[in-house]
Amino acid sequence: MTPIASTELPMHPPSAAWLRIMAQIYDPFCWLGEAAGMKRRRRVLLSEAHGRVVEIGAGTGLNFEHYPDGITDLVVTEPVAAMRRRLARRLQRRYYPTRIVDASAEHLPLPDASVDTVVSTLVLCTVDDPERALREIARVLRPDGQLLFIEHVRASSRFLAACQDRLEGPWRHFAGGCRCNRATIELMRACGFNVAATEDVWRGMPAIVRPLIVGRATR
Ligand SMILES: C[S@@+](CC[C@H](N)C(=O)[O-])C[C@H]1O[C@@H](n2cnc3c(N)ncnc32)[C@H](O)[C@@H]1O
């Protein structure tokens, strides 16, 4: 694996109290961004999901309504208890064969080569060890499997990237560990994924979470 130079600062994990507040404010905070395009983006991306699907860091479950009929099994992982409670509530309104699992993306409790589609929306910015998470995703995917993702990443504009570096600390503390300056596409490639992605703007959200990348990665 090719090492990627990190611009990230070490951090203390967010407190349990703040994570509970995050779970409560997540949907209202995202409302404008969802209405201004993210909801459509989720629907289009997830129409490509098939077979056995694993969603990492599912949060409050904003993706649930967009999964197509015909997926055989949906496993949603989420390490934060307050988020899992919201997931469970949202799931009561859906009828997929679904399992909610307390797990981080760095340690997926699934056998090798057992999954057709992994879904990561706005998660690889937040995991503590993204390289380990990507290796886990590669491990659980079948050889012809796919990672579908929507992630905000480090900006290519020098000015915006400098703002992201400057604001990384305060944003991370506010946003439950999210690193606004993480070069996720480069990490995917360094971990051996072939990536096909388009760039977009997350309207309705602060500029430091631009650009968004939306796409599909295969091993
Ligand atoms: C910005 S939210 C995105 C939630 C959801 N995927 C969405 O699209 O709205 C980031 C989520 O990643 C979760 N998370 C944090 N660390 C994680 C890790 N190591 N592995 C998996 N998920 C993690 C958080 O608890 C949170 O639910």
Write out pLDDT tens, residues 10-21.
566 778 888 899
What pLDDT is attached to residue 87? 93
Helix H or strand E encompassing 25: helix 16-33
CA of 129 relative to ligand 1 center, distance in Å: 13
pLDDT of residue 6: 56
Ligand 1 near 61 CB (within 6 A):
no
Q: How far is the CA of 80 from the centre of ligand 1 (A)?
A: 8
Q: Which numbered atom of ligand 1 lies nearest the CA of 120?
A: 6
Check if the beta carbon of residue 213 is closer than 8 Å to that of residue 198. yes
Report how far ligand 1's centroid is from the alpha carbon of 28 (Å): 16
Instruction: Decide whether any atom of ligand 1 lies within 6 Å of the 110 Cβ.
Output: no
Closest by CA position to 20, among listed 92, 91, 85: 85
Cβ contacts of 217 within 8 Å, gap of 6 or more: 146, 147, 149, 188, 193, 194, 195, 196, 197
The two three-digit tokens of residue 180, written as one number:
């606004």
Note the pLDDT tens digit of each residue in 71-114. Answer: 999 999 999 999 999 999 988 866 567 899 999 999 999 999 99
Mean pLDDT, contiguous 10-residue spans, the chain (219 residues) = 54 80 94 96 98 97 92 94 94 77 98 98 97 98 98 97 96 93 97 97 94 97
Whether the bond into 206 is cis, omega within 30 of 0: no
